[in-house]
Amino acid sequence: MTNEEILKQAKKIMDEFVAALDKVKVKEKFGAQREDQIRTPEKECPDSTEFRKRIFKNAPKIKDDYFIMEKKEW
């Protein structure tokens, strides 16, 4: 499937769902129409110093800023 086909299929599903919700009797009006069905990804930049501290805290063996690993023979 191409990205465009997926977008069309998602829009169709959402439109059918909203139409089905319109048939349900509720006190408040509910419905949504979107022009774009896919969220744009927002890149979050984690705090690298906190991650570094946490990863070194969880490591079994470290020396300076390096992990100490065993080399296995297969």
The answer to whether 10 touches 37, Cβ cutoff 8 Å, is: yes
User: What digits encode the pLDDT tens for the residues 17-72?
Assistant: 988 888 877 677 667 777 776 777 666 766 778 888 888 888 888 888 888 888 87
What is the model's pTM? Answer: 0.35
Rounded CA gap, 56 and 59, in Å? 5
